[in-house]
Chain A
Amino acid sequence: MQISGLDYLVFGVDDLVGAQRYLEDFGLAPVDQDETGGLYEALDGTGIILRKRDDPRLPEALSTRSMLRQQVLGVRDASAIDAIEAELAKDRRVTRLADGSIEFRDPLGFNLKVQITRRRPLDLPAEKINAPGAPAQRAANEIGVWEDMPARPRSLSHVVLFVPDMDKIVAFYTGRLGFRITDVLTGAGPFLRPAANDDHHTHFFIRTPEYMQGCEHLAFHMGGPTELMVAGSRFTRKGYQSFWGPGRHKFGSNWFWYFNSPLGCHVEYDADMDKHDDSWVAREAPSGPEASQIFLLQWREKWAPGGGPEGK
């Protein structure tokens, strides 16, 4: 099952205008916008499809209040879709759409679609750093930061789901869709990557009661930690609410910065995630502040020393 990752996440929201403004301010580019919503793209064409909660084109909602309506997974070619259809049709309904994509539900009722990926290849440099002992990555006179430097999300990275039955969903994603478990936070759940994607995770599952089933957060890759902090600082200054970060996770090594959103879940900037292949042996650590991050920082208004003692 050669799944390459997430192409889109589809949401049905209550506050469409607020959510549209939010995703644009987050740094995604609106495509095909009208009063019913549209697609919000990262630089590689992956992104968020926004609609009103009651839009008849949306797949059926979960019975909880979750606004996540569908995960759209990409594969390289039609034969990969055929292989997934043949496997899943053994025990569930698989709907073939006119464009050749297929739709189905996982055992917990999350709606999925598999299509030939629309992800565009990116040709952009990673953040470049200079360090003693290593060749300089930036040429002489090439500066590292400037006030209006670009800091736009490059690619849809991962989705985190609240799941009421961990055994069922893990068996489905690993056994039927070919995902690998990269690491496990005991007490929360596993990180997973699909066979045709070497990122540490495109999915992470967190065990919850049934009434919480839904989306915990989604994340976009940035070009590096500086872009992540520039984008997060700009977003904060526009009035958006930081939830957790900036910081750097241990499992995956990715930098993170999470924000509240009108999508019923957090939306995250991430950067510099580990890559893995099938020789990797999953680690396990108890879920909690120690295992979750190597360090955690908090945004504050710009400040500089100066001005002399208080009251002088």
Chain B
Amino acid sequence: MLRLCHIDDVPKGATRGFLPAPGAPRRVIVLWHDGQLLAYADACPHYRGGTPMAWRTDAYLSGDGRHLECHAHGALFDIASGDCIAGPCLGRRLTKVALHVDEDGTILVPDHVAGRGGSER
């Protein structure tokens, strides 16, 4: 397991993107939803290999705050399921990342999350 961040690094109502290891190809998006911590790979399924979704550091939500959004072409994703509900990758979904939270609040992710995880574009 790899240390991703600490639970205090993820404020309620916000999204945060963390690199699982220096030089990892993709960040992991972490957010609170209905009292649960959720995490997805920062990789829009529109193109093979996935492309980064924020328009600015940590800016993963749609303008109205109701969905995760890829700011490449405006695809919207259901926050709870990761399903694309509008946009170029309609019918596909974001890749969920399993989180393990230690007693001291450290958030860990599986090692493979820092791997190449598909070719670049």
Interface, chain A (partner B; CB < 8 A): 13-15, 18, 22, 53, 64-67, 162, 208, 211-212, 214, 216, 238-241, 243-244, 259-262, 264-266, 289
Alpha-carbon distance between A264 and B86 when the two chains are bound, in angstroms: 12
What secondary structure prevails in chain B residues at the interface with A? loop
| Chain A residue at minimum C-beta to C-beta distance from B86 | A65
A289 contacts which chain B residues (CB < 8 A)?
121
Assess A14 versus B90: contact at CB under 8 Å? Given A260-B54, A261-B71, A264-B74. no
Tell yes or no: B5 within 8 A of A by CB: no
Q: Give the most central of B56, B59, B62, B87: most A CB within 10 Å.
A: B56
A/B interface sample: 10 pairs, CB < 8 A: A14-B63, A18-B59, A211-B90, A212-B88, A240-B55, A243-B72, A244-B121, A260-B72, A261-B55, A266-B73
Nearest CB of B to A212, in Å? 5
Nearest CB of B to A193, in Å? 24
A259 contacts which chain B residues (CB < 8 A)?
55
Once the chains bind, are B72 and A18 in contact (CB under 8 Å)? no
A208 contacts which chain B residues (CB < 8 A)?
88
Alpha-carbon distance between A271 and B53 when the two chains are bound, in angstroms: 25
Alpha-carbon distance between A267 and B74 when the two chains are bound, in angstroms: 13
Alpha-carbon distance between A265 and B71 when the two chains are bound, in angstroms: 7
Alpha-carbon distance between A65 and B85 when the two chains are bound, in angstroms: 11
A260 contacts which chain B residues (CB < 8 A)?
52-55, 70-72
Once the chains bind, are B55 and A14 in contact (CB under 8 Å)? no
Assess A13 versus B55: contact at CB under 8 Å? Given A65-B74, A212-B87, A264-B74. no
Tell yes or no: B57 within 8 A of A by CB: yes
A238 contacts which chain B residues (CB < 8 A)?
56
Nearest CB of A to B120, in Å? 9
Assess A239 versus B57: contact at CB under 8 Å? Given A65-B86, A66-B74. yes
* Residues of chain B in range 64-94 having any CB-CB distance to chain A below 8 Å: 64, 70-74, 76, 86-88, 90
Once the chains bind, are B63 and A262 in contact (CB under 8 Å)? yes
| Chain A residue at minimum C-beta to C-beta distance from B64 | A14
Nearest CB of B to A67, in Å? 7
Tell yes or no: B15 within 8 A of A by CB: no
A18 contacts which chain B residues (CB < 8 A)?
55-56, 59, 63
Once the chains bind, are A216 and B55 in contact (CB under 8 Å)? no
Once the chains bind, are B73 and A216 in contact (CB under 8 Å)? yes
Once the chains bind, are A243 and B74 in contact (CB under 8 Å)? no
A22 contacts which chain B residues (CB < 8 A)?
55-56
B76 contacts which chain A residues (CB < 8 A)?
65
Q: Give the most central of A15, A53, A241, A265: most B CB within 10 Å.
A: A241
A214 contacts which chain B residues (CB < 8 A)?
73-74
Nearest CB of A to B117, in Å? 17
B74 contacts which chain A residues (CB < 8 A)?
65-67, 214, 264-265
Nearest CB of B to A229, in Å? 20
A244 contacts which chain B residues (CB < 8 A)?
121
Once the chains bind, are B56 and A243 in contact (CB under 8 Å)? no
Alpha-carbon distance between A155 and B71 when the two chains are bound, in angstroms: 23
Alpha-carbon distance between A149 and B43 when the two chains are bound, in angstroms: 35
- Can you list the 5 inter-chain pairs with the closest CB atoms, starting with the nearest? A14-B63, A264-B74, A15-B63, A239-B57, A260-B71
| Chain B residue at minimum C-beta to C-beta distance from A15 | B63
Alpha-carbon distance between A288 and B73 when the two chains are bound, in angstroms: 19
Nearest CB of A to B44, in Å? 10
A14 contacts which chain B residues (CB < 8 A)?
62-64
| Chain A residue at minimum C-beta to C-beta distance from B90 | A211
Q: Give the most central of B59, B64, B72: most A CB within 10 Å.
A: B72
Alpha-carbon distance between A244 and B57 when the two chains are bound, in angstroms: 17
Alpha-carbon distance between A255 and B71 when the two chains are bound, in angstroms: 22
A261 contacts which chain B residues (CB < 8 A)?
55, 71
B53 contacts which chain A residues (CB < 8 A)?
241, 260
B72 contacts which chain A residues (CB < 8 A)?
243, 260, 266
